[in-house]
């Protein structure tokens, strides 16, 4: 689930942007009309750079291109790679390449591997058993004895990998199309979030999980193709269309979850209630409960200065909530009193007690004997589009434009600028 990089951004409302209409249906506060461009052409040749195996310290990798080409960055020379697996190894700031079983090795500042043909897949892994196939080309560079492996991939092919990992391909067509547009918008707006790294995005959920061509599915391919080149814009720029699994009944304004103080006009709190309850009510974790012993909770809280109440834990309670019901101020009392946001507490408990325990910051907490019980709704950070809500809305007959208009109010659907 993509999350934004917060920065000070002046965001002004565009005049033509919002068409708020008071909804007659109880529970739906606003709906938003879109200006639709129809079928917009994709920007030709747009490519994104994804850091592969980005959580690993890479000393060497294996690559199989099945008839592709190896380009040496030092000489610019190209040579066929054949069908054998090549091994690339970091040697200081250079890369040593050796064809599997072959006699000689080449040492260069870097290499680029191109598959055979535009739709070819190049397999990359630390070993052959964990290799994954990626479309586009693979650049291998080195620094301080570590490899950096970057997948240069056409944007639309990148989406084919990431969209089915965010939303199940069995989801209704309109929901998949909404996700395709959101993922495309995010992939353009959030480029450069890794600063000086030689790639735009990592291959982890921090950006969008990218596992290569094996994730592709005909249903999501069709949704990407049907919305080819379409993005949401605000003030003429693609938006950081963040999304999450299940809001539990209402999404939150970005500043209430990640702080930073700067509101973003299209990432405001939105009710996800319809005539029959929350649109995301079918999510398996729409309601959740998490019980933890007081001793374990105290141990977890003591791992961070911002949540450490000292040697004892007397109480923990929610003092403030945002408009969507997410805890924005949680009081922890022990030897001393500390306060923390619900989102920060969730991050801490995910790190210390397990990533699946506290599923959202939309919770209440109580004590039963020597245990603390957290009860909540929703899964994920709660900002932007709710995936289960999008699926519920699609099943209720909403178009992908209406779904996007609800979760990103005031934006325009247009072509890539
Ligand atoms: Zn990332
Ligand atoms: Zn929802």
Taking the centre of ligand 2 as the mean of its atom positions, its distance from the CA of residue 389, in whole angstroms, is 4
**Which-ligand-closest: CA of 50?**
1
Taking the centre of ligand 1 as the mean of its atom positions, its distance from the CA of residue 48, in whole angstroms, is 13
**Which-ligand-closest: CA of 246?**
2
Residue 258 β-bridge partners: none
**Which-ligand-closest: CA of 379?**
2
Cα 136 to Cα 153: distance, rounded to the nearest angstrom: 4
**Which-ligand-closest: CA of 190?**
1
Taking the centre of ligand 1 as the mean of its atom positions, its distance from the CA of residue 206, in whole angstroms, is 4
Q: What is the gyration radius of the CA atoms in the chain, in angstroms? A: 24
| 365 close to 376: Cβ distance less than 8 angstroms | no
**Which-ligand-closest: CA of 249?**
2
Residue 388 φ then ψ, to 5°: -70, -30
| Cα end-to-end span (Å), the chain | 24
pLDDT at 104 (0 to 100) = 81
Cα 320 to Cα 311: distance, rounded to the nearest angstrom: 25
**Which-ligand-closest: CA of 382?**
2
Give 347: exposed, middle or buried? Use CB within 10 Å, 0-12, 13-18, 19+.
middle
Q: Where are the domains of the chain?
A: 20-43+156-248+382-415, 60-144, 287-377
Taking the centre of ligand 1 as the mean of its atom positions, its distance from the CA of residue 102, in whole angstroms, is 36
pLDDT at 261 (0 to 100) = 77
pLDDT at 33 (0 to 100) = 29
Which residue from 123, 124, 149, 122 is spatially nearest to 136, judged by alpha carbons?
Answer: 122
pLDDT at 20 (0 to 100) = 25
Taking the centre of ligand 2 as the mean of its atom positions, its distance from the CA of residue 269, in whole angstroms, is 11
Q: What does the block give as tokens for 125?
A: 């892994």
pLDDT at 2 (0 to 100) = 61
**Which-ligand-closest: CA of 247?**
2
Taking the centre of ligand 2 as the mean of its atom positions, its distance from the CA of residue 227, in whole angstroms, is 23
Taking the centre of ligand 1 as the mean of its atom positions, its distance from the CA of residue 313, in whole angstroms, is 35
Give the chain as a 3 state SS string.
Answer: CCCCCCCCCCCCCCCCCCCEEECCCCCCCEEECCCCCCCCCCCCCCEEEEECCCCCCCCEEEEECCCEEEEECCCCCEEEEECCEEEEEEECCEEEEEECCCCCEEEECEEEEECCCCCCCEEEECCCCCCEEECCEEEEEEECCEEEEEEEEEHHHHHHHHHHHHCCCCCCHHHHHHHHHHHHHHHHHCCCCCCCCCCCEECCCCCCCCCHHHHCCHHHHHHHHHCCCEEEEECCEECCCCEECECCCECCCHHHHHCCCCCCCCCCCCECEECCEECCCCCCCCEEEEEEEHHHHHHHHCCCCCCCCCCCEEEEEEEEECCCCCEEEEEEEECCEEEECHHHHHHHHHHHHCCCCCCCCCEEEEEECCEEEEEEECECCCCCEEHHHHHHHHHCCCCHHHHHHHHCCCCEEEECC
Which residues of the chain, if any, have pLDDT below 70?
1-45, 101
pLDDT at 14 (0 to 100) = 25
Taking the centre of ligand 2 as the mean of its atom positions, its distance from the CA of residue 44, in whole angstroms, is 35
Taking the centre of ligand 2 as the mean of its atom positions, its distance from the CA of residue 280, in whole angstroms, is 4
pLDDT at 1 (0 to 100) = 56
pLDDT at 128 (0 to 100) = 76
Q: How far is CA 203 from CA 17, 50, 53, 55, 199, in A?
A: 33, 6, 7, 8, 10
Taking the centre of ligand 2 as the mean of its atom positions, its distance from the CA of residue 220, in whole angstroms, is 21
Taking the centre of ligand 1 as the mean of its atom positions, its distance from the CA of residue 133, in whole angstroms, is 20
**Which-ligand-closest: CA of 204?**
1
């Amino acid at each position: 689930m993509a999350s934004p990089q917060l920065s000070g951004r002046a965001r002004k409302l565009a005049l033509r942007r919002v068409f708020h209409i008071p909804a007659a249906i109880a529970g739906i506060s606003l709906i938003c009309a879109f200006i639709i461009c129809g079928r917009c052409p994709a920007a030709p040749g747009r490519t994104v750079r994804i850091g592969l195996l980005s959580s690993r310290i890479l000393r060497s990798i294996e690559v199989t291109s099945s008839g592709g080409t190896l380009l040496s960055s030092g000489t610019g020379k190209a040579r066929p790679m054949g069908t054998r697996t090549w091994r690339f190894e970091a040697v200081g700031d250079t890369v040593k390449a050796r064809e599997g079983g072959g006699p000689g090795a080449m040492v260069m500042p870097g290499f680029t591997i191109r598959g055979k043909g535009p739709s070819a897949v190049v397999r990359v892994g630390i070993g052959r058993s964990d290799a994954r196939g990626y479309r586009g080309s693979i650049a291998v560079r080195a620094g301080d004895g570590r490899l950096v492996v970057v997948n240069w991939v056409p944007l639309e092919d990148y989406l084919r990998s990431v969209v089915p990992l965010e939303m199940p391909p069995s989801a209704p067509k309109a929901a998949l199309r909404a996700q395709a547009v959101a993922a495309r918008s995010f992939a353009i707006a959030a480029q450069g979030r890794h600063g000086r790294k030689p790639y735009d995005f990592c291959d982890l959920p921090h950006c969008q999980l990218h596992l290569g061509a094996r994730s592709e599915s005909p249903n999501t391919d069709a949704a990407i193709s049907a919305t080819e080149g379409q993005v949401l814009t605000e003030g003429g720029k693609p938006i950081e269309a963040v999304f999450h699994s299940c809001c539990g009944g209402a999404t939150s304004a970005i500043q209430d979850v990640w702080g930073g103080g700067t509101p973003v006009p299209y990432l405001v709190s939105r009710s996800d209630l319809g005539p029959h309850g929350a649109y995301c009510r079918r999510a398996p974790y729409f309601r959740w409960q998490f019980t933890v012993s007081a001793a374990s909770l105290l141990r977890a809280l003591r791992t961070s200065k911002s949540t450490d109440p000292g040697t004892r834990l007397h109480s923990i309670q929610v003092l403030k909530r945002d408009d969507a019901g997410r805890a924005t101020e949680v009081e922890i009392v022990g030897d001393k009193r500390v306060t923390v946001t619900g989102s920060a507490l969730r991050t801490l408990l995910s790190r210390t007690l397990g990533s699946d325990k506290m599923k959202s910051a939309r919770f209440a907490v109580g004590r039963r004997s020597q245990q603390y019980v957290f009860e909540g709704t929703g899964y994920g950070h709660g900002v932007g589009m709710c995936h289960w809500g999008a699926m519920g809305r699609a099943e209720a007959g909403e178009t992908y434009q209406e779904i996007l208009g609800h979760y990103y109010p005031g934006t325009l659907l247009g072509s890539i600028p």
